């Protein structure tokens, strides 16, 4: 055997170790970045700080953690006010309840402001708005439509009358438990639950659901300066907000990362990369990198799937598309199976995230730009796998079978001699006599001995 073949496993091991070390270093660096302290508001003395938080998407666990940490930071720095600007279609009741509990327990007064113009505080946002010490809305905004919805996988579940009344009564009691203590109108608020009623900013103000209308966060702070409010525990506090600085509270690195994962477009791309990476590793074992990357993306996609309202029909369409791409590589369909797979995956992307909780979903641009490359790569990989089944082995004993060699010494019939194959010297035996320097063809391998026959006989047999 040549030195290259003997050292080949050693080099492969070295490459594998280097790849694994690089991967571990990358993961450690990412973990360190995610665990860095969050970016907090700039330091300001005493009561001059108005800490500004954004509730500008669906209410979910990552957002709830951000809100909780913001309220905790405001308490530590003894801010004068926490200002939460809201524009949300609603979200998960568990995350909504967590946010409300922290607002009610906050030692710092909290103002929730539906803003900017055209924004909404719907469904879970309505509950959060009414839980604040100060509830405000910008012109041309609306709130309400807070009827509970039971949905799994994007499908609304049909429940019997008894269960429906139970859910509605629980939601009404929860809303009353803090609305009355905030001095708002619980009877009108309950219509948003029982009748799914929504209110404009003027209707909400006239119905004593909110405290005031403001054109901007700065206008809201000006109106609140010197205002006396009653806290949830019954104490009265006068807000001192003159010359107060409105300072934003940013998401931490970890929260920003997780918030990106649960975006529908990112979730769809992670799902495709995860499937493609694992598929590549299964069909081309030993490549390592596709399997590692695909595994990580698949786990991240599962995390997002746990939080997002995933439609099962969308997932099934994507799996159908993958099956069609594989069949396209195996059978001659003149592109019919591939086109069917592209259509199925495109529709699966559009159906993937659909729920009454959110109007969002995978965008058309991302669905189209991700579907076509995925189709081409999958078909290409599958064809390579099918072609490889007919390839001649290029390593081990099998690679010598059928190769041509040169007799170094004459071979008598049935006697051993030496031949050169691939620049290597081998012992060989032939059933026919072979003169020195004549070509021979390898027929089989027996340990370190090759069974050969003259080239002329091999050519005649093939004819």
Residue range 40-251 forms a domain whose CATH class is alpha beta
Q: What is the pLDDT of residue 85?
A: 97
Q: What is the pLDDT of residue 188?
A: 95
Architecture of the structural domain at 397-462: Beta Barrel (2.40)
Q: What is the pLDDT of residue 212?
A: 95
Residues of the chain with pLDDT under 50: 1-25, 27-46, 152-154, 356-359, 395, 463
CATH 3.90.226.10 domain span(s) along the chain = 40-251
Query: pLDDT, tens digit, for every residue of 326-352?
Result: 887 777 777 788 888 888 888 888 888
CATH 2.40.50.140 domain span(s) along the chain = 397-462
Residue 157's alpha-carbon distances to 151, 189, 192, 437, in angstroms, are 5, 25, 20, 83
Q: Among 339, 364, 340, 338, which residue's Cα sits nearest to residue 350?
A: 364
112, 86 Cβ separation under 8 angstroms: yes
Residue 406's alpha-carbon distances to 394, 435, 436, in angstroms, are 20, 10, 8
- Tokens for 223, please give them: 């109106």
Q: What is the pLDDT of residue 95?
A: 87
- pTM listed for this prediction: 0.61
Q: What is the pLDDT of residue 157?
A: 55
Tell me the CB-side half-sphere exposure of residue 25, using CA atoms within 13 A.
6
Measure the CA–CA gap between 412 and 434, rounded to whole angstroms.
6
């Amino acid at each position: 055997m040549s030195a290259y073949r003997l050292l080949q496993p050693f080099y492969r091991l070295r490459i594998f170790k280097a790849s694994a070390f690089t991967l571990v270093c990358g993961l450690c660096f990412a973990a360190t970045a995610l665990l860095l302290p969050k970016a907090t508001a700039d330091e300001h003395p005493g009561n001059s700080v108005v800490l500004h938080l954004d509730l500008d998407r669906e209410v979910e666990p990552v957002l709830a953690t951000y809100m909780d940490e913001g309220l905790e930071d405001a308490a530590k720095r003894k801010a004068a006010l926490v200002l939460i600007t809201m524009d949300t279609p609603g979200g998960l009741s568990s995350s909504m309840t967590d946010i409300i509990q922290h607002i009610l327990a906050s030692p710092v007064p909290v103002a929730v402001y539906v803003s900017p113009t055209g924004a909404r505080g719907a469904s879970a946002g309505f509950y959060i708005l009414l839980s604040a010490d100060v509830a405000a809305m910008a012109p041309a905004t609306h709130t309400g439509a807070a009827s509970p919805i039971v949905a799994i996988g994007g499908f609304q579940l049909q429940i019997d009358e008894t269960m429906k009344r139970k859910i509605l009564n629980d939601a009404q009691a929860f809303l009353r438990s803090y609305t009355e203590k905030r001095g708002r109108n619980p009877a009108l608020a309950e219509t948003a639950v029982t009748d799914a009623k929504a209110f404009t900013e003027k209707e909400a103000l006239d119905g004593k659901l909110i405290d005031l209308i403001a054109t901007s966060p700065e206008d809201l702070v000006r109106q609140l300066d010197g205002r006396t409010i009653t806290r949830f525990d019954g104490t009265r506090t006068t807000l001192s907000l003159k010359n107060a600085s409105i300072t934003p509270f940013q998401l931490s690195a970890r929260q920003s990362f997780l918030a990106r994962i649960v975006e529908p477009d990112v979730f769809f791309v992670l799902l495709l990369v995860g499937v493609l990476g694992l598929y590549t590793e299964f069909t081309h074992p030993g490549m390592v990198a596709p399997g590692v990357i695909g595994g990580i993306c698949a786990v991240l996609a599962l995390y997002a799937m746990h939080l997002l309202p995933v439609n099962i029909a969308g997932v099934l369409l994507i799996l159908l598309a993958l099956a069609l791409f594989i069949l396209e590589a195996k059978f001659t369909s003149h592109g019919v199976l591939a086109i069917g797979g592209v259509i199925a995956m495109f529709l699966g992307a559009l159906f993937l995230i659909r729920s009454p909780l959110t109007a969002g979903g995978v965008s058309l641009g991302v669905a189209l730009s991700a579907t076509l490359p995925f189709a081409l790569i999958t078909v290409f990989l599958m064809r390579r796998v099918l072609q490889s089944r007919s390839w001649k082995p290029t390593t081990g004993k099998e690679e010598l079978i059928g190769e041509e060699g040169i007799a170094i010494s004459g071979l008598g019939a049935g006697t051993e001699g030496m031949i050169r194959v691939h620049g290597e010297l081998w012992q060989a035996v032939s059933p026919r006599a072979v003169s020195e320097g004549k070509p021979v063809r390898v027929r089989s391998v027996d340990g370190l001995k090759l069974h050969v026959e003259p080239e002329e006989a091999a050519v005649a047999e093939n004819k």
